[in-house]
Structure 1
Amino acid sequence: MPKGSNVPVPASALRVEVAWRTGAGVPDADASALLLVAGKVRSDSDLVFYNQPSHTSGAVRHEGKRNAGGRVTDSLTVDLARVEPAVETVVLAASADGGTFGQVPDLSVEVRETGRDTVVARFEPTGATVETAFVLGEFYRRQGAWKFRAVGQGYDRGLEGLATDFGISVDEPQQPAAPPPSPRPRSQPVPAAPARPLTPPAPAVPSASATAPAPAASAQPVRLTKVTLTKSAPAVSLTKQGGTSGAMRVNLNWEVHKQFKGWGSKLGRAMAMHADLDLDLCALFELADGSKGVVQALGNAYGALDRPPFIHLDGDDRTGSRASGENLTVNLDFQRHFRRILVFVTIYEGARSFADLHATVTLTPQFGAPIDFSLDECTVPSTVCALALITHTDGELIVQREARYLVPERGVSPQRTVDRAYGWGMDWTPGRK
């Protein structure tokens, strides 16, 4: 689609894929959506993004990222039939983390009809230079029907500038007093200033309302900061981030690669198995008093938050969606009791390895920035993957990205395999859930 053009879209479940080609020197990017009434949000809950992945209406959800062959896709699902009648526009945006869109090659936004998996619209903005945020497109109502418009409007202050321009109140973390400040981390917002569009917007759709309602006050401003762990920067201090109290949720979401030819092929048969894929999020723990154990669905060892191990596993999930997925919670109010926690995932049934699976891990402390990372492509017959190691050393709580696929020996369980790899030294017996 050329910039400014529009096409009708079905008022049904749609998948929006913001994609780009990654590589050396390419910054990360994040998809987001804003639900607008007369050009503004009604409250901060009308922003859907990595820190607020689901709209209260259930109409828009952020599903997370996957990396397939060097092309990264960050996805949103939009069910236009569930969008509230007052909402006139759903803006689809992207923000660059650690660089500009001039450094992001092959950026595109694609709209797919979920049920048929057919492409409804595709837009590839060009000519980006110093932009750090883009309104890529928008869904809007016109004469009782929905349309998609290719917008391509750039901003110079990232997600923060774009969000505040639409009426979002953004949390500005207080900075400790210090002599001349050091350079800001890439995930930290810059001081507030009016957002400045860098590229002209597409023609606007006339609104039935002449003035926009004032955004409703939010009990807590939206926090836009985040930390992405990579191979070159695999660890972060929760202590330095201020995340040493309250609940920390650990989420694993995944998506099975669906580009295959027929159910009769070898890959097709593998995908048929993946249709009933059951992954289990687990955690090995070692407390300061030397006690050790595991939190997992097997044996109903779900743990507890108000007593040792101060870790609790939610119910089992088979969808892998960002809104649900597999979750466990760590009570950081008792972080002095922790020596180390290893979060890992096993395949309980439905597949012989993690091949063709794109997964993202997100750790969201109650205080401090969320931490996320993606798993690399699995190239070995692995049924267990060590995800993250949390250690408490010298009064500091550290999160280390592991993303390590392990291959069990014949007759050795995935749990015993990860135990051996990390020297936990526990005795294991067969269990079922």
Structure 2
Amino acid sequence: MTMQKGANVPVPARAVRVELGWRTSPGAPDVDASALLLVSGKVRNDADFVFYNQPAHRSGAVRHEGKRAAGGAVTDTLAVDFAQMEPTIDRVVVAASADNGTFGRVAGLYVRIVDPANGSEIARFESADATVETAFILGELYLRQGAWKFRAVGQGYETGLAGLATDFGISVDEPQQTQPPQQTQPPQQTQPSQQLQKAPQSFTHPATPRTPPTPPPAPPAVRPVRLTKVTLTKEAPSVSLSKQGGTSGALRVNLNWEVRKQSKGWGAKLGRAVAAQADLDLDLCALYELTDGSKGVVQALGNAFGSLRQPPYIHLDGDDRTGAFSTGENLTVNLDHKNRLRRVLIFVTIYEGARSFADLHATVTLQPQDGAAVDFSLDECTVPSTVCALALITNDGEDLTVRREARYLVPPRGVSPQRTIDAAYGWGMNWTPGRK
């Protein structure tokens, strides 16, 4: 049902998919979905803010699932699981922010609430009166007498996502502005006799040492959220993680897919295809080369899931072959051991369920623990490819760089996708048949 501003409807589902959508057009800004989990109108701390740089709430109740583009339209999705919602949370604000532009240039902006169990639309609100706003509260899920409801809001902000977030208690790490140099007063000239009189006052007699007072314990460090992000394109295909401050901790690689042609009952979803008669099994993989010259692969095939605490310091979190709604396949690189890594090639293969990527569209997000998220979309495949190179991470000893590859390869007859990707990038490994 389409709602008017201020209207509310019951949300009977145990979990919902919150989908923001808009139409693409020349000169229009990109849009990002976010959510704030509130207690009495405010967040408890910065962890209650879910967005592209902080994609999952610690409770698991809200997750930022990522974007899909098809047919001149884009959607950005949040997954909300009421069963995992902490009892103190009484409201989830659904917001949108415009990247390098205003919402007056965004056509067809809407938010809809969908029951993922059956795909039915519970509510829909279309925003049509935006002008100079750079952030919007489109709606909110709120708890009333033990039941969840959705209200259409439509409140705009000219101060962007940072202004919206700070209104609810989020501390934002904004870029520092360069301050003009301040003029200092020249030091006053002091008479030599005064210097001699004051100098002894800065010393304490050795026989009576003074013990400085014990300083109070420092409060725990608060790390504000960072709203910056990086989008890689054909024109700007690489980014320095060192310059973005993302060279330590865990680098999470997420791959989201959708099926564009609804064949055999396939329906669009994030990360995987919902298959009524056939399962589509996609495998996220990584070739690695360490600084000691050792090489290998991290993949589900052969149960080579890797490790974060020992070589290769890369781990695949699992192989989801159920076809159920999920967050896609995820791979993590431990950047605390970046000095042991020479290069890492992230790639994906079709294990079964399709003969080519031609019917699929993918979004790749690399999320450093610190620093800006790096995301990019893969171009539509026009060749019978079953293996695609996604991104190449290289370490030259001074800088850690991510380069967008988006390279579809066609394996020769009888040659595996792994051998094909190896040959294309000169890894030089010996391959044997494997199985899951």
Q: Which residue of 1 aligns with 2:270?
A: none
Deviation at 1:158, TM superposition (A): 1.7
User: Is the CA contact 2:264–2:275 (under 8 Å) kept in the aligned structure 1?
Assistant: no
Secondary structure class of the residue paired with 1:159: helix
Match of 2:9 among 7, 10, 14: 7
CA 1:159–1:286 in 2, change beyond 3 Å: closer, same or farther?
same
Q: C-alpha separation between the residues in 2 aligned to 1:33 and 1:164?
A: 13
Q: CA RMSD in A?
A: 3.0
Q: Which residue of 2 aligns with 1:421?
A: 424
Match of 1:253 among 241, 256, 277: 256
Deviations 1:341-391 (A, max 9, x none): 211011222332334434322212233212122223334322111110112
Q: Which residue of 2 aligns with 1:298?
A: 301
Q: C-alpha separation between the residues in 2 aligned to 1:157 and 1:229?
A: 25
Q: C-alpha separation between the residues in 1 aligned to 2:295 and 2:95?
A: 45
User: Is the CA contact 1:65–1:74 (under 8 Å) kept in the aligned structure 2?
Assistant: yes
Match of 1:104 among 106, 109, 125: 106
Are positions 1:371 and 2:338 aligned together? no
Deviations 1:107-141 (A, max 9, x none): 11111122221222211111322211100111223
Q: C-alpha separation between the residues in 2 aligned to 1:342 and 1:134?
A: 38
Q: Which residue of 1 aligns with 2:43?
A: 41
> Matches of residues 77-226 of structure 1 in structure 2 within 5 Å?
77-172=79-174, 219-226=222-229
Give ranges in structure 1 of 5+ residues lacking alignment. 180-216, 265-269
CA 1:245–1:52 in 2, change beyond 3 Å: closer, same or farther?
closer
CA 1:164–1:319 in 2, change beyond 3 Å: closer, same or farther?
farther
Q: C-alpha separation between the residues in 1 aligned to 2:248 and 2:59?
A: 30
User: Is the CA contact 1:11–1:79 (under 8 Å) kept in the aligned structure 2?
Assistant: no
Q: Percent identity?
A: 73
User: Is the CA contact 1:320–1:326 (under 8 Å) kept in the aligned structure 2?
Assistant: no
Q: Which residue of 2 aligns with 1:403?
A: 406
Deviation at 1:153, TM superposition (A): 0.7
What is the total number of aligned residue pairs between the two structures? Answer: 391
Secondary structure class of the residue paired with 1:148: strand
> Matches of residues 227-376 of structure 1 in structure 2 within 5 Å?
227-257=230-260, 260=262, 263=265, 272=275, 276-318=279-321, 324-376=327-379
Q: Indicate the structure whose relative CO is greater, using CA pairs within 8 Å and at least 6 residues apart.
A: 1
Q: C-alpha separation between the residues in 2 aligned to 1:316 and 1:71?
A: 30
Q: C-alpha separation between the residues in 2 aligned to 1:370 and 1:389?
A: 16
Greater shift, 371-380 or 106-115, is seen at: 371-380
User: Is the CA contact 1:319–1:325 (under 8 Å) kept in the aligned structure 2?
Assistant: no
Are positions 1:32 and 2:37 aligned together? no
* One-letter amino acid matched to 2:239: V
Deviation at 1:321, TM superposition (A): 8.9
Q: Which residue of 1 aligns with 2:71?
A: 69
CA 1:252–1:323 in 2, change beyond 3 Å: closer, same or farther?
same
Q: C-alpha separation between the residues in 2 aligned to 1:319 and 1:171?
A: 40
CA 1:431–1:178 in 2, change beyond 3 Å: closer, same or farther?
farther
CA 1:42–1:385 in 2, change beyond 3 Å: closer, same or farther?
same
User: Is the CA contact 2:252–2:330 (under 8 Å) kept in the aligned structure 1?
Assistant: yes
Secondary structure class of the residue paired with 1:106: strand
* One-letter amino acid matched to 1:364: Q
Q: C-alpha separation between the residues in 2 aligned to 1:132 and 1:19?
A: 16
